[in-house]
Amino acid sequence: MSAWDLTALVNAAHAKSGRADRHLWLVRLMEWLRHAPRSVIGAAADEARTPLPVLRLRHLLNQLDKNETLRSEVQGMMRAFWRDIDAASLYADFGFGSRLSLASELLTRLQARVLPGTPETQDLAALFRLLFEPADAEWIEAIDAATLQRAAAVLVPGAEDWRRTLLNAITILVSAVHAAGYTPALRQRMDAQTLQDEPFRQLTVSAGALRSAVLEGHHAEALREAAYLRALLDTCRRAAASVTSHLEQFGVSVDIVFDLDQLQGRARRIEQLLECVLSPDPAPQWRRLLADLVREIAEVRGVRALLARHYSLLARQVAERSAESGEHYITRTSGEYRDMLRRAAGGGVVIAGTTFVKFAIAAIGLSAFWDGFWAGANYAASFVIVMLLHWTVATKQPAMTAPALAASLPSAGGTASDEQVEAFVDRVAQLIRSQAAGIAGNVALCAPLVLAAQWLATAVFGAPLVGVEDAEYVLHDLTLLGPTALFAAFTGVLLFASSLIAGWAENWFVLHRLDSAIAWNPRIVATLGGARARRWSNWSRANVSGLAANISLGMMLGLTPALLDFLGPPLEARHVTLSSGQLGAALGALGVPLLAEPVFWWCVAGIAVTGVLNVTVSFWLAFKVALRSRGVRVKDRSRIGAALRRRLLTQPLSFVWPPRG
């Protein structure tokens, strides 16, 4: 709205305007405060320090002071506005979800981002989103006391019932906190000691006593009731906080985290309203409350912020459960290093068999989906066999070890000590040599075994198990001169995704207490017997994460390329161990002369790059999630980088072989 529109804006205010017209006038007023040019204000002495919207507000008030008729029209319109609007909804509902779950609240926010709002409403919370923008909080806090009083006289005329409005909002908020405290999901997870005095039940009684004292003008009694209400709210918050400890131990539910966040937020809002109600000069507290509500607009609109906040605890649980598993994949001593080589060699043996089954499935000539499905089932079964035999597949390590590595980082609360930096460098060296041992063990057994099987089949049956046509396709497919690097990076993403699925599955298993159900459910006990049911329970609890990781990884390696090919992007999976087995099959089919061909060595280079990208991409993604879930901000990057370079120069072999002792 341009400068000369101020007169038109003021003239458009009519005491007899309808609801929609009144609300549109307020929207236009806020637009003018934000966007009117500086020439409207003139050269004010304090303009360099005072935000322009505050100067424009003063200019508007000055114009109304000069014209009593216009001032009366504006005041009359605002009286009608406050008489017709549900103001308590702003203080009690704005910023809080009206739905019962995180998914419902997410849907509500998505609808609000897509669907336009209407000023034809009695709900001040809904109108508030049209009136203000998050950036308005800065200039609202800069309004001086004199300007605030002048604005209140015009925009909030005859506001004798403002305390009643705030008390109504407190009643609504207390009822919501009371109800949340008695929901089974929260009540059964709260510390019983914090509930001994029934703080949630007493909230309603205390809020009613406070309301009566304030409306009857008994200030001293109101102060006592407010102090008691604050003490009850503090106890309720402690009870709610105890739920988080339960979730960290017994599994996380994002809906429970959402309910906790709503409860804590409403308790804070009640205390803000109490300050306004009880203050002899409520203007500063109301201004601070209004600024906080304006900042809430960004939170109310934000979908990403909602997901980040409520999935952060789940991400932490997933990362920490992966960290516990990842400890088993990190080698520290020579004995552990040799054990890793042995377990990786065992994994290579199984993957050698997987390679031949893969070629057999491809030879059947199924449709793309079923070919991908059975290929995924082949991979999943092989990975599960490797897990059950306590062997390992190297590329599964990074996504599991990254959270364990993040656990050694300094927390965000202070500066890292030299010991912390050295511990981090130690973990990096341990991780790198673990990956090297894992890949070396896998490839060292997988490719030679496939090659030996090809030669044996040729000697016995006169033809290799994998023919020349398939071998030529492998050479064309695995070469570094093609899209192998892109496919290997994509496979790293799948490896990372499988670790997330593993953490989520274990969290879900623990949250729903399925281990206890398997051990003690009457039907299961009657079927299996008590001792066997408990053994199955312990086995399931110990292996649910591994089963979820291996099955999900196998099915994603097989099915994801088929589904993506149907949708458009022609992405394929490139797993270093499987690729080495395929190259061994090609060498067995085409014979020793293939070693003299450049295409063979381009495939060897492609497998090397595949191994590096499988490891680095999955590790980097898992490491980023672990950092965010732990709230770690590494301020000592230069120190850690220098320590890594120093270790490389002084002890390079520590990244390949564990030091003695």
Q: What pLDDT digit, counting tens, does each position of 387-441 carry?
A: 999 898 876 655 555 555 656 655 555 566 777 778 878 877 887 788 778 888 9
pLDDT at 40: 46
Distance CA 563, CA 363 (A): 20
* Percentage helix, strand, coil for the chain under 3-state DSSP, each rounded to 5: 80, 0, 20
What's the count of helices (H) and strands (E) in the chain, helices before strands? 28, 0
Q: 3-class DSSP state for residue 123?
A: strand
Locate tokens 């609202």: which residue?
140
Residue 252 predicted with pLDDT over 70: yes
- What are the start-end ranges of the H helices in 254-333? 254-278, 283-301, 303-326
Q: 3-class DSSP state for residue 283?
A: helix
364: tokens are: 């059947």
Distance CA 398, CA 222 (A): 60
Closest of 3, 155, 134 to residue 64, by C-alpha? 155
Please state which CATH number belongs to domain 314-655: 1.20.1080.10
Dump pLDDT digits (tens) for 498-545: 877 887 888 788 888 899 999 999 999 999 999 999 999 999 988 888
Q: 3-class DSSP state for residue 253?
A: coil
386: tokens are: 């490797």
The number of angstroms, rounded, from the C-alpha of 356 to the middle of its chain's C-alpha atoms is 40
- Average pLDDT across the chain, whole number: 85
Residue 571 predicted with pLDDT over 90: no
Q: Give mean pLDDT, residues 223-248.
A: 91
Domain locations in the chain?
85-301, 314-655
The three-state DSSP-derived secondary structure of 424-457 is HHHHHHHHHHHHHHHHHHHHHHHHHHHHHHHHHH
Distances 506 to 59, 377, 515, 524 between C-alpha atoms, Å = 62, 21, 11, 21
Percent of the chain at pLDDT > 70 equals 85
Residue 317 predicted with pLDDT over 70: no
Locate tokens 């909080």: which residue?
137
Distance CA 349, CA 354 (A): 9
